[in-house]
A = this chain, B = another copy of it.
């Protein structure tokens, strides 16, 4: 999994379009399993992306459009971010009966 936390700048021109385009791209990547996203208004955003294995994540990291977006993110969109790549050891869930 990749855990991406972000604080955005005031400069958000092009962000939504790029975000939507990247979401379409990653959905078609073999080994992509899904994502969870939460955004505190005016505060922290967290995106958790799930991949089958390190190879799938590497594919995504090096996709040309994704690379370009990363560069644009550092230039314009993000005040700060952290990225943690981690191997899931166990998972559980709950849904109200």
Contact = CB atoms under 8 A, between A and B. Distances in A.
A55 B46 CA distance: 25
Interface string A31-58: 0000011111101111010000000000
Assembly of this chain: how many copies?
2
Contacts of A78: 94, 96
A44 B48 CA distance: 12
A87 interface: yes
Given A36-B5, A48-B5, A85 B80 contact: no
11 contacts: A36-B46, A38-B39, A38-B40, A46-B46, A78-B94, A78-B96, A79-B95, A80-B95, A83-B93, A85-B88, A85-B90
